[in-house]
Chains A and B, each alone.
Chain A
Amino acid sequence: MTLTGEVVRISGAVVSARRLAGAQMYEVVRVGDDRLVGEIVVLDRDVATIQVYEDTEGIAPGEPVTTTGMPLSVELGPGLLGSIYDGIQRPLDVLRDAGGDFIVRGLTAPGLRRDTAWDFTPAVRPGDRVEGGDILGSVVETEVHEHRVMLPPGVQGRVEEIAPAGRYTVDEIVAAVRGGGRTRRIRMRQYWPVRKPRPIRMRLEPINPLISGQRVIDTFFPLVKGGTAALPGPFGAGKTVVQHQLAKYVNAGIIVYVGCGERGNEMADVLRQFPALVDPTTGRSLMNRTVLIGNTSNMPVAAREASVYTGITIAEYFRDMGYDVALMADSTSRWAEAMREISGRLEEMPGEQGYPAYLASRLADFYERAGRIAAIGSPGREGSVTVIGSVSPPGGDFSEPVTQNTLRVVKVLWALDADLAHERHFPAINWLTSYSAYIGAMQGWWAEHAAPLWAEHRAEMMAILQAESELLETVQLVGEDVLPEEDKLVLVQARLIRDGFLIQSAFHPIDTYCTVEKQYLMLELLARFFGLARDAVAAGASAAAVGGLAVRSRLERMPFVPNERFADEYRSIGQEITEAFAGLSAGRGVIG
């Protein structure tokens, strides 16, 4: 039933309207003569307070507000992949065709194209008993993605009709299911309210690695499919670059990238690069596995608030088909600020730093939607949603509410550091403060994948880096030359780990992606070098002599050796290491 009320107050993105008794919380409404999209966020008798997803300039009291009977929902079905949407799933390219290069108000467009016909293959027969989540048929959405048409959750009954194989648009009916005394016509599109998690059969422990090709991540602070990670850091520390690297290279089937309140050019960058880049897992265009949500900082703030929900609901939908989905949200702080801005306009009681008191629970609820799961319906499917959230703390100070409340719920922290970024140590992930709760889970995997000593090497490198940080405190006070040789060697070793392993240029054509095989061989070489270096120093060589070995430069340049050539390089460097230390003990092989 549609109600029509009347605007009584406008304050920024928040509008109040009266005569809306009977409207529901979170119902979508159309506001004003321009019919802007809004959502009810407070109800007080017949007055509804509405957050409006478009610029409210020009709206006056007295203008009409009509309800739609629907909560804020996304449209799910074939055609999502390769799309770019705003925060409320309006396709930006369609808006551009309709309204020009600038986003004008009052435009609407459905999330899925109506004019594309998809090749549908049925998977059930008339008379079959079906229930929510069952796969009724499938569509080849891209060359490598089968889109599984699922019966919407909550529906059950017997298949009365099922469309024969053929081409259908999302508007056409592909099945009729009779149950509970009525017949439901099923299309390939369905709706789901964004603020409500989609149902699952059960949660499973996340144990499979999400490989990113980024050394500091895969080797030191790994993430798993279905896991959660936070990426806090001051401006310019490299959050977006890390997120883009993950979107490009992780071994997930589907990527949902949410540009939440960030830069327009960053979205343009993704749109420019992704179609031309190749998915390392399937060898196809990256854009084919990607859904982009771009609600940039200058786009309406309420739609920014909605964007992360739009993104995660789409992610869950693909998860339910049985895909491993990775969602990047850049930046969750802008989402939290949107909440704060709207909460301020609602004159709610402010909590810490003006954020609403429900900040912590909203963040927790969002990350809770990540996970590895068994899906409802048959045939049985496992899928996962991994969530990686950037956090942009004011002044780079991690003690603020968004960072702190995020750290309470995520399992991996990649802490970005301004000092490292200033020195152009990228990715500027601080190895002393970052952590991953999935190291145990990864140990077995690496052991099975030809990397028996992964855990040991990793622990050795971490120990050296830890020791370095303690030594550096001493050096700050008394200088390096008073240190014993073995401590000086630690400094040499640590520098080699930083320069030869941790630093990884996202923009270097080779170094941008490092296979796990190469990562492990690099670790092996470093470990071998370190072992021999310790022996040499114990036998009387100086740390400076070790640092001056020609092979040290070669180790630092390992990142530039192509993945496929690295096995050869590994043997060759290995040999040079052996020779270099042999030479060192014979008193030669030192440059300078």
Chain B
Amino acid sequence: MDGTFPDEKPLQKGREYLSVTRVAGPLIAVSGVEGVAYGEVVEVTVPSGERRAGRVLESREDLAIVQVFGGTEAIDTTRTSVRFTGETMKLGVTEGLLGRILGGTGEPIDGGPLLIPDTMRAISGNPINPSAREFPRDFIETGISAIDGMNTLVRGQKLPIFSGSGLPHARLAAQIARQARVSGEEESFSVVFAAMGITYEEGDFFIRNFRETGALEQAVVFVNHADDPVIERLITPQMALTVAEYLAFDLGYHVLVILTDMTSYCEALREVAAAREEVPGRRGYPGYMYTDLASIYERAGRIKGRKGSITQLPILTMPNDDITHPVPDLTGYITEGQIVFSRDLHRKGTYPPIDLLPSLSRLMQGGIGEGRTREDHAAVRDQMYAAYARGRRLRGLVAVVGEESLGDIDRLYLTFADRLERGFLRQPEDERRPIEESLDMAWQLLGTLPESELTRMEPAMIEEHYPRQTEG
């Protein structure tokens, strides 16, 4: 199966042209055309005979502007032929995709058997009707305290990792994929993995990881490497999510979608915008990037009356570790929280290097508490955050004025922050800490503060959980 082209190719008369009039960046203009549909799939044949896929970005009566996914190298204005297929972009989907490795545009690259699609799906997808959505509430235990205890993930959530170059986001994503379970259910997640512009090394890391843990059989892998055509990346996430929707909402799988690296995706978007000479938005990224990213991230969730779910774990690297950069910024405005990495913690050898303060899970509230995790969970999280934030503020102060200037209580907070980072936060990459254990560890930490400091919770809760010294 070739992902890009529909299996039937109804050749319409007069639909093949040799009239490329302009090539600019990843775009070509084809003139003298007739009845070209917006979004139509195009097949471009360069003089050497090589064929590339494209898509119509703008259609006028006699002119079509086409974005060429394989790049525009070697395209000329005399011998290149452009065929309009009369179809919008579709992907053949089947359960048989599980266990397969595909290129960025959906063609198998693992030498496996031919794929027979069950059905063809438009890769741009349709928005889930908001009134059909089931609000996601099933707690996913990842076994990672910083997530489960403080920024809980639920099934159907989109929760990105905001990382930086050289930080261990791939390891964390692989760990989550490996360990994530919903309590009371045996079944693990099926993974749809979409790599955009990643290195061979990182791609191999994931594939090896999936293979070693047996996850590959339950995974569909799309890989666009850093040296593959940049424009190709623009359809990789759409392909991946089309497969994910089929697996989740047609076949009932619980799907974990890992998208990496969204920053590379956005760069491709910027390249197209520049070629179209559009008015650039912030830092050269197009003004419609929010909408474009939303059309990817919103393809997560649950649907009433359907069994499956799509949980998204997009990864992005923040250029210069700057969280206000348009890619993390617009992502944060769409996703349901974010896990933010800290280079400082990483330097100190902390794994996972999660900076708790800017991290957030917006769907945590509905996924925790009695009957889901534990009745004290929300209160513990609030108190931990309050205490840690105070400790961190004091740490900044101490750096300037020295620890001597602190009062006794302040010193306790300072120590609290250190202990939290060294104990609660830090854990081995293969450790799967149950939620009870995470919460108990949190109470041990809270026990280093006097009870009178625990004002984010009701006295009854302190009564029940506050660690008391045994006699003496």
Contacts and interface: CB of A to CB of B under 8 A. Distances in A.
Nearest to B125: A102
A422 B136 contact: no
Contacts of A421: 360
A418 B452 CA distance: 28
Contact of B130 (A264, A334, A353, A499): A264
A59 interface: yes
Interface in B1-57: 34-40, 57
A9 interface: yes
Contact of A592 (B57, B130, B386, B408): B408
Interface stretch (A160-168, A197-205, A268-276, A513-521): A268-276
Interface string A556-592: 1100100000000000000000000000000000011
A61 B455 CA distance: 66
A544 interface: yes
Contacts of B406: 479-481
B22 to A, nearest CB: 16
A354 interface: yes
A452 interface: no
* Size class of the A contact interface (CB-based, 8 Å): 35 or more
A557 B382 CA distance: 13
B295 interface: yes
B129 A96 contact: yes
Interface stretch (A176-184, A336-344, A435-443): A336-344
Given A334-B290, A499-B455, A101 B129 contact: yes
Given A96-B131, A556-B455, A61 B294 contact: no
B127 A235 contact: no
A478 interface: yes
Given A103-B127, A341-B291, A397-B324, A424 B382 contact: yes
A96 B132 contact: yes
A8 B60 contact: yes
Best-buried of A56, A299, A396, A556 by chain B (most CB within 10 Å): A299
A104 B128 CA distance: 9
B74 interface: no
Interface stretch (B111-119, B207-215, B218-226, B397-405): B397-405
Interface in A70-109: 84, 92-93, 95-96, 99-104
Nearest to B127: A298
Given A96-B131, A101-B129, A268-B135, A505 B282 contact: no
Given A337-B287, A353-B281, A101 B333 contact: no
Contacts, number: 240
B59 interface: yes
A114 interface: no
A553 interface: yes
A10 interface: yes
A264 to B, nearest CB: 5
B39 A268 contact: no
Contact of A84 (B127, B130, B362, B366): B130
Given A61-B36, A95-B129, A236 B362 contact: yes
Contacts of A61: 34-36, 59-61
B128 A236 contact: no
Nearest to A295: B130
B365 interface: yes
Interface string A272-308: 1000000000000000000000101111010000000
A294 B37 contact: no
A394 B133 contact: no
Contact of A103 (B126, B156, B386): B126
A265 interface: yes
Interface stretch (B173-181, B299-307, B343-351): B299-307
B55 to A, nearest CB: 10
Nearest to A57: B39
A11 B450 CA distance: 64
A417 to B, nearest CB: 13
B25 to A, nearest CB: 17
A115 interface: no
B293 to A, nearest CB: 8
A467 interface: no
A482 B405 CA distance: 8
A470 interface: no
Contacts of B452: 548, 550, 552-553, 591
A101 B287 contact: no
A297 B282 contact: no
B337 interface: yes
B326 interface: yes
A1 B295 CA distance: 38
Contacts of A57: 37-39, 88, 122, 124
A422 B358 contact: yes
A433 B98 CA distance: 54
Interface in A447-497: 475-482
B39 A341 contact: no
Given A101-B306, A395-B329, A507 B58 contact: no
A297 B298 contact: yes
Contacts of B299: 298
Given A423-B385, A507-B365, A102 B126 contact: yes
Contacts of A334: 290
A470 to B, nearest CB: 16
A423 B389 contact: yes
A22 interface: no
Interface in A1-57: 8-12, 55-57
A547 B455 CA distance: 13
B71 interface: no
B303 A505 contact: no
A418 B390 CA distance: 15
B178 to A, nearest CB: 26
Contacts of B205: none
Interface of B: 34-40, 57-61, 88, 122, 124-136, 156, 249, 278-282, 287-288, 290-291, 294-295, 298-299, 301, 303-304, 306, 324-326, 329-330, 332-334, 336-338, 357-358, 360, 362-363, 365-366, 378, 382, 385-386, 389-390, 393, 397, 400-402, 404-409, 450, 452-453, 455, 458-459
9 contacts: A8-B60, A11-B58, A56-B38, A61-B61, A95-B129, A294-B131, A299-B127, A480-B407, A553-B453
In order of increasing CB-CB distance, the 4 nearest A-B pairs are A479-B405, A297-B294, A479-B401, A395-B324
Given A297-B295, A553-B455, 8 more contacts: A92-B129, A100-B132, A101-B304, A268-B134, A297-B298, A298-B295, A423-B386, A499-B386
